[in-house]
Each structure stands twice: as structure tokens, then as C-alpha cells.
Amino acid sequence: MSLIPSFFGNRRSSVFDPFSLDVWDPFRDFPLSASSFPSAVSSQFPGEASAFVNTRVDWKETPEAHVFKADLPGLRKEEVKVEVEDDRVLQISGQRNIEKEDKSDTWHRVERSSGMFSRRFRLPENAKMDRIKASMENGVLTVTVPKAEEAKKANVRAIQISG
């Protein structure tokens, strides 16, 4: 009994007939192969996967605060939610709605994404959870999380030991 034919599923084809070649795909049965990725993501998340994936967020730390900036062009602040969970998780989410189609319209290209998006960030221990502020201007959401002041280090001085 040969292992090779059973490993490849007993596929037999003629090497000389290019139309009967059955190319072995090592990722064919893999749950998230490159060809099935968009459909797998869109089946798990309602709406288009591109809106979920393409929400860009910058996180910078200054001496006073952690600052998050998210590009959300075309969205109003009413379409965006900023939430903080008890275990120090900041969540930015929302939904970009699809434009209503008119039967007489002819679409040549659709590149803007629509659907739900969500991004989550675990905040560090020094975040002041009760002082978080958010603002939105020109399609850019800015979330500012102030930092707690670090405890001052005790002033330590060396003592001479006599003897």
C-alpha cells in the first residue's frame, strides 16, 4: 500500500494533458485559506469585512495622556460609539451605512467600504478611566485618556556606618 496516492487523495491525471492536471492545494481544507478569507470573515461579521479591517487608529503616549486618533471619513459623531469596559478595554465602534440605490443609477465603481467596524485596546494601569474624553473633527476621532501621576519616589540618602 502506497502512502503517496492516499496522501494526495488518489488523484490521477495525465502530465501531458494541461486541462486534466489537478494541482494540489495544500491550503484547500484549511479553515482560513487565502481564497476563502473574505467569505469567512464576512460570514462571521455582518456587513463588509473591509470596513471592519480598514479602520485605522493611531495610539501615542505623551507625558500627560494616551491619545488615540481614528480616521472615520464621512461619519458623524452620532454613528460612532466610544466605550470603556471595567477591565480597562477601550472600544471604538460604529457603522457606515450603504447608500440607497436608485434603480436608474449605473454604478461604475464602488470602493468606499460600508458596514460595522470595531477596534479594541487594552489600556495600561496608569490610565485614568474616569477622565476619558472624545472629540470628532473633520472625520478624525480623538480619544484622550489622561495618565495618573506616578507616585513620587522616596528621597533616598545613604547613611554612613561607623565602627
Q: Taking 60 as the threshold, does the pLDDT of residue 159 lie above it? A: yes
Amino acid 84: pLDDT: 94
Pick from 120, 99, 113, 118: nearest CA to 48: 113
Parallel, antiparallel or unpaired: strands 115-122 and 65-71 = unpaired
Distance separating alpha carbons of residues 55 and 141, to the nearest angstrom = 11
pLDDT of the residue at 7 = 47
Mean pLDDT, the chain, as a whole number?
Answer: 76
Domain segments of the chain: what residues?
55-97+114-144
Predicted TM-score (pTM) above 0.85: no
pLDDT digits (tens, 9 = 90+) for 107-153: 788 777 778 889 999 999 999 999 999 999 999 999 999 999 876 66
CATH T-level topology, domain 55-97+114-144: Immunoglobulin-like (2.60.40)
Is the confidence at residue 15, as pLDDT, over 80? no
Write the pLDDT tens digit of every residue in 59-82: 999 999 999 999 998 889 999 999
Sheet of 140-146: strand order equals 57-61, 65-71, 140-146, 133-137
